[in-house]
């Protein structure tokens, strides 16, 4: 967690295709990406290289929130995603870069995430904590095997 960056590593009991879909589907993102206590509204999401996205996190307790967006820089289906994040709030300047690696394993998928360039106003450990919460929610979304009814 040095240089305003965080790195996370997980093994999830789900196929890479399902996890990739969770990162590229607006409804899925809204369900798992906000840390506990926050809601997410995805305003737009154009998942292609050079495509943009925009979303807001809303603190459920206070109703306050912050909006941010970015651009998809690299996409390798079911293997790699790289995108930028920039807060709309001028008090949180700079552009973050998030990279997501997916590797198929015998028991599921290895997931590695790095987020670099976190604004200095955000304590890195809070960003790390938020990502941990989000990844718990991601696991609960992608790991269940629910048959078609």
**Residue 130 falls within a domain, yes or no?**
yes
**Residue 149 falls within a domain, yes or no?**
no
**Residue 126 falls within a domain, yes or no?**
yes
Give whole-number Cα distances, 6 to 20, 26, 91, 121, in Å.
20, 24, 20, 15
Q: Residue 97 belongs to what H/E stretch?
A: strand 96-105
Determine the pLDDT at residue 23. Answer: 98
CATH code, 127: 3.30.530.20
**Residue 147 falls within a domain, yes or no?**
no
pLDDT confidence tier of residue 1, bands split at 50, 70 and 90? very low
- At 51, list the tokens: 């495509």
Model pLDDT for residues 2-56, shown as the tens digit of each residue: 469 999 999 999 999 999 999 999 999 999 999 999 999 999 999 999 999 999 9
**Residue 1 falls within a domain, yes or no?**
no
Under a CB-based contact definition with an 8 Å cutoff, are residues 30 and 44 in contact?
no
**Residue 36 falls within a domain, yes or no?**
yes
Domain residue limits at 108: 6-142
The number of distinct structural domains making up the chain is: 1
Half-sphere exposure of 103 (CA within 13 A, CB side): 9
Model pLDDT for residues 79-137, shown as the tens digit of each residue: 999 999 999 998 888 899 999 999 999 999 999 999 999 998 889 999 999 999 999 99
Q: Residue 70 belongs to what H/E stretch?
A: strand 65-76
Quote the pTM value.
0.93
**Residue 46 falls within a domain, yes or no?**
yes
**Residue 17 falls within a domain, yes or no?**
yes
């Amino acid at each position: 967690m040095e240089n305003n960056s965080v790195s996370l590593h997980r093994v999830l009991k789900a196929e890479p295709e399902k996890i990739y879909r969770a990162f590229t589907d607006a409804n899925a993102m809204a369900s798992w990406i906000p840390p506990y206590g926050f809601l997410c509204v995805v305003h737009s999401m154009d998942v292609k290289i050079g495509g943009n996205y925009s979303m807001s996190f809303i603190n459920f307790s206070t109703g306050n929130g912050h909006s941010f967006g970015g651009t998809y820089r690299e996409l390798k289906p079911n293997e790699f995603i790289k995108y930028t994040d920039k807060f709309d709030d001028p008090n949180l300047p700079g552009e973050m870069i998030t990279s997501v690696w997916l590797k198929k394993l015998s028991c599921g998928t290895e997931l590695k995430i790095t987020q670099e360039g976190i604004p200095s106003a955000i304590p890195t450990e809070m960003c790390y904590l938020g990502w941990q919460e989000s990844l718990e929610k991601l696991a609960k979304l992608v790991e269940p095997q629910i048959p078609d009814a």
